[in-house]
Amino acid sequence: MSGIVIIGAGECGTRAAFALRESGYSGSVTLVGAEPHLPYERPPLSKPMSGEVQMKLICTEDMLEAAGIAYLRGAWAVKLDANAGTVALSDGRILTYEKLLLATGARPRRLACPGAERALDFRTHADAEAIFSNIGEGRPVAIVGGGLIGMELASVLRAKGVTVSVIEAAPAILGRAVPPRFARKLHDRHLSEGVSFHLGHDVIAIDDDGVLLTDGSMVRAQLVISAIGVMPEMALAQQAGVATGNGILTDIHLRTTAPNIFAAGDCAAVSQPGGGNIRFESWRNARVQAELAARNMTGAAQAFAAIPWFWSDQYDLGLQVAGLPQPTHQSVVRSSPDGEMEFYLDAGRLVAAAGLGVGNSLAKEIKLAEMLIAAGASPDPAALADRSLNLKILLKSARAA
Ligand SMILES: Cc1cc2nc3c(=O)[nH]c(=O)nc-3n(C[C@H](O)[C@H](O)[C@H](O)COP(=O)(O)OP(=O)(O)OC[C@H]3O[C@@H](n4cnc5c(N)ncnc54)[C@H](O)[C@@H]3O)c2cc1C
């Protein structure tokens, strides 16, 4: 079998397989996935609606069949030969390819302390089942890592009445991706919901009683969850001699350093126009890069230029961040009864925006802010701050200019 082979059947690999068909590709498409299920979405794992762990499928068996996508589930790609154009699978099969997409995603970073093996990860449906089948009132949980996944999990567990402690080595939670203004607001909300925090402390050991911290204190817990971030899954690429850094390195067209091999999604560190490579870990990025990789594998040469965007749900609050806010940016705040938006200007130009409000209440504003960023707008800060002024008006004048 030749044609296009995709390694990794997560959001990115699966979306790429369908996008190949949508772009008219008629050769063979083989999707190789290590997990035993049909491809599913990860975000719902930390947002269980009815209390049950959700398996939100990306596609059904029928959809794969109708699109002529050969899905090899439960199969690990174990060896890539970039010169021969072959991939060996864990079951002994060898696939040949004309083009290969590495969509291998990311795997949880592991704690390195004594007893680390007692901590559960949170990346897959199996991880979610293991966590949610082990919780209950009277079974306190310690979450190591105050990032987005850890804090989403904390909010879900509190809603179930579980006692939750969050341990974070940095002095504040959500420091990596969330603008400080909203990280503080979310922190306050978690406090008011009863989450206890242990900030600025590392973990020394995990044992039957819980988690021992660097200040000598013990955080009592029956269940410990490690949510200290992820590492790009790039073993296959490295073994094949494909260049890697903080991810599989690609150019702006998502081509790796090996001929006919592309990379996209959580595993890919994409070249930036200003220099360097950036790896994004978000659902939309996985889809956008998947679609771009599909087009470029079938003959296009389009550059990756999407505005980064992610969302997070904690309690009844929805956070959205578009662009990459930096401390050096000028900040403009717009408050409304629905929540708060913060805009980020770089030398007068709008480059990022974030919003925190109840549910999806700020979705429209964030969408308009994204359009303003894409239009290269340099709006008047006073107009941005004025909540009575519809962002559509600013967009109209940016486009007219
Ligand atoms: C609990 C949770 C909640 C999240 N919530 C949000 C959210 O609210 N908002 C948001 O924007 N993002 C969220 N994300 C992040 C988002 O889900 C990821 O960015 C997205 O899933 C990345 O897709 P991917 O296909 O690149 O990688 P992955 O989803 O990691 O998929 C990669 C797949 O490749 C497989 N694989 C790896 N190596 C091999 C191999 N050698 N052979 C075969 N298969 C292989 C893996 O098993 C995996 O199934 C969340 C993630 C998690 C875990």
Residue nearest to atom 3 of ligand 1 (CA): 43
pTM of the predicted structure, to 2 decimals = 0.96
- Nearest-atom number in ligand 1 for the CA of 45 is 1
- Ligand 1 close to Cβ of residue 39 (< 6 A): no
- Strand ranges inside 337-371, DSSP E: 339-346, 349-358
Separation of 149 CA from ligand 1 center, angstroms?
Answer: 12
Statement: residue 147 has pLDDT above 90: yes
pLDDT of the residue at 1: 52
- Ligand 1 close to Cβ of residue 13 (< 6 A): yes
- Nearest-atom number in ligand 1 for the CA of 282 is 19
Q: Mean per-residue pLDDT for 206-235? A: 97
Q: Specify whether the backbone of 318 is left (phi greater than 0), alpha (psi in -120 to 50) or beta.
A: beta
Query: Could you give the maximum distance between any two Cα atoms of the chain, in Å?
Result: 65
- Nearest-atom number in ligand 1 for the CA of 8 is 34
- Nearest-atom number in ligand 1 for the CA of 285 is 19
Q: Which domains does the chain have, with CATH numbers?
A: 4-106+230-297 (3.50.50.60), 116-226 (3.50.50.60), 316-400 (3.30.390.30)
Residue nearest to atom 14 of ligand 1 (CA): 43
Statement: residue 52 has pLDDT above 80: no
Separation of 215 CA from ligand 1 center, angstroms?
Answer: 35
Mean pLDDT for all residues in the chain: 96
How many other CB atoms are found less than 10 A from the CB of residue 114? 13
Distance CA 340, CA 337 (A): 8
pLDDT of the residue at 51: 67
From 104, 120, 236, the mutation candidate for ligand 1 (largest count of ligand atoms within 8 A of CB) is 104
- Kindly state the percentage of the chain with pLDDT values over 70: 99
- Ligand 1 close to Cβ of residue 213 (< 6 A): no
pLDDT of the residue at 2: 78
- Kindly state the percentage of the chain with pLDDT values over 90: 93
- Ligand 1 close to Cβ of residue 395 (< 6 A): no
Separation of 104 CA from ligand 1 center, angstroms?
Answer: 8
Q: Mean per-residue pLDDT for 2-21? A: 97
- Ligand 1 close to Cβ of residue 5 (< 6 A): no
Label residue 18 by pLDDT band (50, 70, 90).
very high
- Ligand 1 close to Cβ of residue 262 (< 6 A): no
pLDDT of the residue at 128: 95
Separation of 172 CA from ligand 1 center, angstroms?
Answer: 26
Separation of 42 CA from ligand 1 center, angstroms?
Answer: 6
- Ligand 1 close to Cβ of residue 8 (< 6 A): yes
Residue nearest to atom 34 of ligand 1 (CA): 8
Map tokens 């060996």 to a residue: 88
From 6, 11, 314, the mutation candidate for ligand 1 (largest count of ligand atoms within 8 A of CB) is 11
Residue nearest to atom 9 of ligand 1 (CA): 311
Residue 277, C-beta contacts closer than 8 angstroms, at least 6 positions apart: 245, 246, 247, 249, 250, 269, 270, 271
| Three-class SS of 12-74 | HHHHHHHHHHHCCCCCCEEEEECCCCCCECCHHHHCCCCCCCCCCECCCHHHHHHCCEEEEEC
- Nearest-atom number in ligand 1 for the CA of 309 is 11
List b or e across 342-356, with b for residues whose CB sees 16 or more CB atoms inside 10 angstroms: bbbbeeeebbbbbbb
Statement: residue 42 has pLDDT above 60: yes
- Ligand 1 close to Cβ of residue 103 (< 6 A): yes
- Ligand 1 close to Cβ of residue 240 (< 6 A): no
Q: Mean per-residue pLDDT for 184-193? A: 98
pLDDT of the residue at 136: 85
